Amino acid sequence: MSIKKGLNKFWDIVWRDESPKGWLITLVFIFVVIKFVFLPLLSLSTGTVLPLAIVESCSMYHEGNFFSDYDEWWEHSSSKYSPFGIDKEEFKKFIFKDGFNKGDILFILGTKPEKLKIGDTIIFNAGQRNPVIHRIIKINEVDGEYIFSTIGDHNSGQLQEEISINENQIVGRAAFKLAPYIGWGKLIFFEYKQPQINKGFCDRNY
């Protein structure tokens, strides 16, 4: 069989065969293309090993999500930011000022440490199973190296591992929300591993 005929037969199976076998081959083909072609190319173009990130916790959740009441949220949350000199009007200018939700898919860009600023949302390695996605609230420069401090908008305070984040821990900066909730298609298979307090959808808990 010639290469051309073989390719034609393969494409017929992938796109025209509606049998269970055809569907299985199509799913495998799509998986292979996404994992070994699309994601590597996307990673190369964005400058980060993790160009797409699924939000796995409620640590950046704001009550109401799409319909979040910013004034009400700030009333309950301002005490976390005021010690860092961040006021209501400044926070309102931050990207993701209304947070994001568990299951959202974020588009991540690689970034130089010196380009990051207060209010940016970064994804960084914190010695956990998966990276953390939180907001920068403080930046210091020590011996020519940038040290970052973050917090989750929905958390009551900082985690120990986010008080001092080195440059080499940073994976990238969240640029925008690509798809709300779609990440649940993956998360649902791992929910049973989550601690009870982290399971399920996000709700109000200031």
Q: Read off the CATH number of the domain in which 166 is found.
A: 2.10.109.10
Instruction: Work out the angle between the directed axes of helices 20-33 and 3-15 (0-180°, nearest 10).
Output: 110
* Nearest-angstrom CA–CA distance, 173 and 105: 13
CA dihedral in degrees (191, 194, 197, 198; nearest 10)? -60
Report pLDDT for 206: 45
Rounded to 5°, the CA angle 58-112-102 comes to 10
Q: Are residues 9 and 54 in the same domain?
A: no
- Give every strand in the sheet of 105-109, ordered side by side: 52-54, 105-109, 170-179, 121-124, 132-142, 145-151, 165-166
Query: Positive or negative, the Cα torsion across 60, 64, 68, 72?
Result: negative
Q: How far is CA 175 from CA 26, 53, 54, 196, in A?
A: 32, 11, 13, 30
Q: What is the mean pLDDT of residues 17-45?
A: 81
Check whether residue 37 and residue 135 sit in a common domain.
no
Handedness of CA 126, 66, 176, 96 (dihedral sign): negative
The residue segments making up the domain with residue 125 are 50-198
Task: Please give the pLDDT value at position 158.
Answer: 95
pLDDT at 67: 77
CA gap 146, 65 in Å, rounded:
32
pLDDT, average across residues 14-43: 78
Q: Which of 32-41, 79-88, 153-162 has the lowest mean pLDDT?
A: 32-41
63 and 31 within one domain:
no
206 within domain boundaries: no
Percent of the chain with pLDDT over 90: 66
Assigned domain for 95 exists: yes
**Do 17 and 104 have their domain in common?**
no
pTM over 0.75: yes
Band (pLDDT 50/70/90 cuts) for residue 12 is low
Q: Domain check: are 21 and 105 in the same one?
A: no
Q: Are residues 65 and 157 in the same domain?
A: yes
Assigned domain for 205 exists? no
Provide mean pLDDT across the span 120-148.
Answer: 95
The total of structural domains in the chain comes to 2
Question: Which is more confidently placed, 31 or 89?
Answer: 89
One domain, residues 163 and 113: yes
The verdict on 109 and 134 lying in the same domain is yes
